[in-house]
Chain A
Amino acid sequence: MAEKLLKWDEVLIGAAIKDPGNSKSYETGSWRVERPVWNPDTCIQCMFCWVYCPDSSILVDENGKMVGIDYDHCKGCGICVEQCPSKPKSLQMILEAQAKGKTEEELRKEVFSK
């Protein structure tokens, strides 16, 4: 890890956090086995995916439009795909390995070597 972690006598008392919203910098997307892939051509901008996503990982622009997925935090639960009402669905789950053009074995090695 590039960032230098604080020592025990440097951490903030009571594990309080002074910089709000810093969970953004904690990437939880590495747990993902499958990822949702968005197809903007059939998306009807109903925002169901945004409402249901338990990880706030549906990206929305300033006009309130769905513009993609935050893969740093999306855990790949597939709820957005389940909920997507368009026909055909505008979200689809694919294997993470496939998305990265690697075998699952290679991907596993990559994750555990970190």
Chain B
Amino acid sequence: MGKKVALTGNEAAAHAMRQINPDVIAAFPITPSTPIPQAVAQFIADGEMDTELVTVESEHSAMSACIGAAAAGARVMTATSANGYALMWEMLYIASGMRLPIVMAVAARALSAPLNIHGDHSDIMGGRDTGWIQLISENSQEAYDNLIQAIKIAENKDVMTPALAAFDGFNISHAIEIWEMEDDAAVKEFIGDYEPLFPLLNTDEPITHGAWAPPDWYFEHKMSQLKGLLNAKDVVEKVGKEFGEAFGREYGLYEAYKLDDADFVIVAAGSVCGTTKDVVDSLRDNGIKAGLLKIRLFRPFPFKEIADALQSAKAIAILDRVSPAGAQGGPLFSEIRSALYDTPTRAPIINYTYGLGGRDTQPKHINSVYETLKKIVETGKVEKQFDCLNLRGAWG
């Protein structure tokens, strides 16, 4: 049986790591994820886990050490944020290309400049094409649950692809919430033992990792890699069900909150979904058919399932916690609008950027989004396809 605890998102991630007890953790501290390796170091010092903690001099080195250890055959984890994640970027491709099931906690944060240490999705969205599986968590419970599931997903024989479980910096990483921590033994049993595919340390079967692939090989290897990433979709669903059976909290590819008959739908990822659920509840109390589609699995993007889930909507607003950076909208917006193109719905879709650099997003802001959706349905007109929430000054 699990027990209720009142701890931060970072502590949730650290406890997941303690219970997973990987062979190696290589990490460099960066706000807001610093408390994760810090807590891990404490657990190791207290004899509560026997992981080899490699303290490196940069995140690039952290991911490099993770790759070396994983190639050797170890179960490997790390944690990072923001510019640290960005500094890993080159190595993220190498980890996924070598099909090493490394699992990483990301306390998602804004990227400089201007320097800002608070939460948004600039880091994970910047790395969305690195070939990693990306799970996004709404709260501490999910940060904990997703990290445990990520191990099982990444290490699945059909997947063998690194995975990250992200949760919003500060909103989740530093906020104390009540969540349920499972028994150490139950977590251990759930994830099982890891059997590496081609461990370098197996001298009976010598293997080369990280070799050169000239033009007549590279393409084939990249598509083989893509297949592993795409396979993750079914495995995420399967592991989410198994997790439900083991611990009573079932997970799917996404979460549908009062979505079935919803006219006005917000699509979002991360901690803002908690606020949005509250707003949906109060709108429903007033007879307004509001709903939320919460993105859980962002890579591989389950476009078909998400498009199917949005068919009832009369108007859709997609919230991106990252600047669209010159694209037609944020990354979530682009994915979802593209997913809907091949389906019967022609519901109007609008995009908001919110919460950059830790900017508050309150119920009144979410309410204004539903107000806009209502107005669009009533008038049949979209005044602004792209807008910002809680920005000083009108946009566009």
- Measured CB to CB, the residues of A under 8 A from B are 1, 5-9, 11, 13-18, 20, 23
In the complex, which of the residues A1, A16, A23 contacts B198, with contact meaning CB atoms closer than 8 Å?
A16
Name the residue on B nearest A22 (C-beta): B208
Residues of A contacting B207 in the complex (Cβ-Cβ under 8 angstroms): 16-18, 20
A-B contact pairs, 13 of them (CB 8 A): A1-B216, A5-B216, A5-B220, A8-B223, A11-B221, A11-B224, A13-B99, A13-B198, A14-B99, A14-B209, A16-B209, A17-B207, A20-B207
Q: A8 to B210: give the CA distance in the assembly, Å.
A: 17
Q: A5 to B216: give the CA distance in the assembly, Å.
A: 8
Q: Are A13 and B228 in contact (CB under 8 A)?
A: yes
CB of B106 to closest CB in A, whole Å: 23
Q: Give a binary string over B205-226; 1 marks a CB under 8 Å from any A CB, 0 the rest.
A: 1111111010011011101110
Is B98 an interface position by the 8 A CB rule?
Answer: yes
Q: Are B211 and A15 in contact (CB under 8 A)?
A: yes
CB of B195 to closest CB in A, whole Å: 14
Is B97 an interface position by the 8 A CB rule?
Answer: yes
CB of B211 to closest CB in A, whole Å: 5
In the complex, which of the residues B160, B205, B213 contacts A15, with contact meaning CB atoms closer than 8 Å?
B213
Residues of A contacting B99 in the complex (Cβ-Cβ under 8 angstroms): 13-14
Q: A20 to B205: give the CA distance in the assembly, Å.
A: 9
Of B160, B216, B219, B225, chain A has the most CB atoms within 10 Å of the CB of B225
The number of residues on chain B lying at the interface, defined by a beta carbon within 8 Å of a beta carbon of chain A, is 25
Residues of A contacting B225 in the complex (Cβ-Cβ under 8 angstroms): 14
CB of B201 to closest CB in A, whole Å: 14
In the complex, which of the residues A11, A14, A17, A23 contacts B220, with contact meaning CB atoms closer than 8 Å?
A11
Q: A1 to B217: give the CA distance in the assembly, Å.
A: 13
Residues of B contacting A8 in the complex (Cβ-Cβ under 8 angstroms): 219-221, 223-224, 227
Is B5 an interface position by the 8 A CB rule?
Answer: no
Number of A-B contacts (CB under 8 A): 56
Residues of B contacting A1 in the complex (Cβ-Cβ under 8 angstroms): 216
Instruction: Indicate whether A15 sits within 8 Å of B221 (C-beta atoms), given known contacts A20-B206, A20-B208.
Output: yes
Q: A61 to B319: give the CA distance in the assembly, Å.
A: 69
Name the residue on A nearest B206 (C-beta): A20
Q: Contacts A13-B228, A14-B197 given; 5 further ones with Cβ under 8 A?
A: A5-B217, A14-B160, A15-B210, A16-B208, A17-B207
Residues of B contacting A23 in the complex (Cβ-Cβ under 8 angstroms): 211
Residues of A contacting B86 in the complex (Cβ-Cβ under 8 angstroms): none
Q: Are A6 and B220 in contact (CB under 8 A)?
A: yes
Residues of B contacting A15 in the complex (Cβ-Cβ under 8 angstroms): 97-98, 210-211, 213, 217, 221
CB of B205 to closest CB in A, whole Å: 7
Is B310 an interface position by the 8 A CB rule?
Answer: no
Is B148 an interface position by the 8 A CB rule?
Answer: no
Is B100 an interface position by the 8 A CB rule?
Answer: yes
In the complex, which of the residues A5, A6, A11, A14 contacts B97, with contact meaning CB atoms closer than 8 Å?
A14
CB of B159 to closest CB in A, whole Å: 10
Residues of A contacting B160 in the complex (Cβ-Cβ under 8 angstroms): 13-14
Q: Give a binary string over B225-263; 1 marks a CB under 8 Å from any A CB, 0 the rest.
A: 101100000000000000000000000000000000000
Residues of B contacting A7 in the complex (Cβ-Cβ under 8 angstroms): 220
Of A5, A14, A20, chain B has the most CB atoms within 10 Å of the CB of A14
Residues of A contacting B198 in the complex (Cβ-Cβ under 8 angstroms): 13-14, 16, 18
Q: A17 to B208: give the CA distance in the assembly, Å.
A: 5
Q: A97 to B331: give the CA distance in the assembly, Å.
A: 55
Residues of B contacting A6 in the complex (Cβ-Cβ under 8 angstroms): 220
Of B198, B208, B211, chain A has the most CB atoms within 10 Å of the CB of B208
Name the residue on A nearest B208 (C-beta): A17
